[in-house]
Amino acid sequence: MSEQTLTDPTLPTALGETRNRVLDLLCAGAEPMGVQDIADRVDLHPNTARFHLDGLVDAGLAERRAEDRRRPGRPRMVYAATPSDASTGQRSYRLLAEMLTGLIADTLPEPGRAAETAGEAWGRYLAERPAPSQRVDAADGVRRLSTVLAESGFAPGAVENLDRPVIPLRHCPFREVAERHRDVVCSLHLGLIRGALAEVRAPLAADRLEPFVEPSLCLAHLTPTPE
């Protein structure tokens, strides 16, 4: 198992090529730099350079401050990389997930049930509870559940039949871990669905989760319950 499969991309991977170049320049610089200096070094218009610099400041990857000088006049603003690798260092959340799911699978007598219970608690936490007087029907229940699933990264598709709802899930954010610990991860996901449905008081129950019916497709099967 290679290190690459167990570590997450570092934050600059998501910054884009130009912003990464600006960040690399700041990291390599011994002293803070002004906008014009940076623009000249990376061949950008000063306004474009300032846009990327402000984005790095907002992301916590760079600092902006007034230049320390003793000459008369208004000091210019200079930029420097944040003096810590904490925000840009390598992350290993996937490795952590592998270790924890392996621990659950190997040490608990009923790992699937334990994972489902944890998932139910998180499903309740992630769902938006309706007002006490609000009646939730099947369509609204599916919509509310789909919102939770979408915000959690499962890319739910449209449901065609509300009598026996099946939600297609076209992305698994836990895929790599699920391939090695399917019982734990899929039970966690099923519990999340059940917890969300319970929290929104939907007249639906999660019957089962059908994992990987296609390489990028799982199916969540729901059944109606008395309203």
pLDDT reported for residue 55: 87
DSSP conformation letters of 18-53: HHHHHHHHHHH-SS-EEHHHHHHHHT--HHHHHHHH
Give the CATH architecture of domain 93-224: 2-Layer Sandwich (3.30)
Which stretches does DSSP call E strand in the chain?
33-34, 62-66, 77-81, 166-169, 204-214, 217-224
> What DSSP state is assigned to residue 216?
T
- CA-nearest of 43, 72, 56 to 15 is 56
Q: Where in the chain is the domain with CATH 3.30.1380.20?
A: 93-224
User: Cα separation of 54 and 38, whole Å?
Assistant: 13
Model confidence pTM above 0.85: no
Q: Residues near 210 by Cβ (< 8 Å), separated by ≥ 6?
A: 218, 219, 220, 221
Provide CATH 1.10.10.10 ranges for the chain.
3-81
pLDDT at position 181: 94
C-beta separation of 189 from 116 below 8 A = no
Structure tokens at 48: 């474009």
For residue 135, the tally of other CB atoms under 10 A from its CB is 10
**Binned average pLDDT, 10 residues per bin, the chain of 227 residues:** 51 70 88 92 89 88 84 82 64 86 95 97 93 95 95 92 95 92 96 97 97 94 91
Q: Which of 166, 131, 121, 161 is nearest to 146 (CA)?
A: 166
What is 3-81's CATH number, 1.10.10.60, 2.40.50.180, 3.40.50.10860, 1.10.10.10? 1.10.10.10
CA distance between the termini of the chain = 49
